């Protein structure tokens, strides 16, 4: 009888929370919750703005390496750490730059970057992100003909590129062009001013021609020193890619990072039913 009298008391004791747990729950304040949530949001924003970002590939320009409908994780600290080109979540361009270089961009890297703008504009009217492959590095001589890239006199070979036999009717031949590098001195005259005008204006200077004289920032000048490194980028699918052949070079400050892994992939609608491409999930590298 003594044994049966003690059992209900034991069961009741098990169901009651321990004193220190009860004390912690009763002492929880709304301010503590808000601080925790705020800290979580700040960390998430920091990671999104400076470290990692998720992107969806919208076009066929990087096939066969990246397909329309691929979703990638991009590293924003692959090459540098610093301020973005635009104020986050807006189309407002930051007029100055600050970045710490962590790693050099290599020829053949696939990069994600802020579109620098059309040839007819200093800066784009809206903020757009592009993904292309780096073909020309700062200081390189670049020629493109029928999808083939010739860098410093040597044809660029890469097994992941689309077939070089693909013809681009819109832009079959281009070059040779010298990709500008930081510190390069551009010689200016009435013939070269239009060739270099876009670079000079995008770097924050004003340039105009008065009769035969070139005026930069209000002073006569016959040379200009380039302030940033530039890159020549192409899509792997040369016959269906809007790239440097049409709108020019990418400033280094515009380069955000590189895709490091596919976390999802499905065939794009409405051309298909959105079939999941399981075999592509988890793929990494260039």
Q: What are the structure tokens assigned to 242, written together?
A: 């809007």
Q: Is 258 exposed, middle or buried (0-12, 13-18, 19+ CB in 10 A)?
A: buried
Listed in sequence order, the residues at least 6 apart from 257 whose beta carbon sits closer than 8 Å to its beta carbon are 53, 74, 75, 76, 77, 78, 79, 111, 112
pLDDT per residue, tens digit, the chain (286 aa), is: 444 455 454 444 444 445 554 445 456 788 888 998 999 999 999 999 999 999 999 999 999 999 999 999 999 999 999 999 999 989 999 988 899 999 999 999 999 999 999 998 999 988 999 999 999 999 999 988 766 788 998 887 654 444 443 444 445 767 788 999 999 999 999 889 988 999 999 999 999 999 889 999 999 999 999 999 999 999 999 889 999 999 999 999 999 999 999 999 999 876 666 789 999 999 987 7
SS3 of residue 9 by DSSP:
helix
């Amino acid at each position: 009888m003594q044994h049966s009298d003690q059992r209900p008391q034991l069961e009741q004791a098990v169901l009651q929370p321990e004193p220190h747990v009860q004390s912690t729950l009763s002492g929880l304040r709304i301010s503590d919750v808000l601080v925790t949530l705020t800290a979580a949001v700040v960390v998430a924003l920091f990671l999104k703005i400076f470290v990692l970002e998720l992107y969806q590939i919208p076009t066929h320009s990087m096939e066969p390496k990246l397909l329309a409908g691929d979703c990638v994780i991009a590293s924003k600290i692959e090459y540098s750490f610093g301020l973005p080109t635009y104020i986050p979540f807006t189309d407002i361009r930051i007029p100055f730059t600050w970045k710490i270089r962590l790693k050099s961009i290599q020829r053949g890297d696939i990069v994600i970057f802020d579109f620098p703008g059309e040839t007819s504009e200093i800066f784009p009217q809206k903020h757009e992100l592009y993904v292309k492959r780096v073909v020309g590095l700062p200081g390189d001589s670049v020629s493109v003909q029928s999808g083939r890239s010739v860098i410093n006199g040597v044809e660029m070979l890469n097994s992941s590129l689309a077939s070089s036999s693909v013809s681009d009717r819109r832009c079959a031949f281009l070059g040779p062009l010298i990709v500008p590098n930081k510190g390069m001195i551009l010689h200016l005259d009435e013939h070269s001013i239009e060739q270099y005008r876009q670079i000079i204006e995008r770097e924050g200077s004003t340039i105009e021609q008065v009769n035969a004289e070139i005026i930069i920032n209000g002073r006569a000048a016959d040379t200009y020193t380039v302030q940033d490194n530039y890159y020549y980028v192409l899509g792997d699918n040369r016959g269906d890619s809007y790239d440097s052949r049409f709108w020019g070079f990418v400033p280094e400050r515009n380069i955000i990072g590189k895709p490091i892994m596919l976390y999802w992939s499905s065939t794009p609608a409405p051309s298909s039913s959105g079939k999941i491409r399981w075999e592509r999930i988890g793929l990494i590298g260039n």
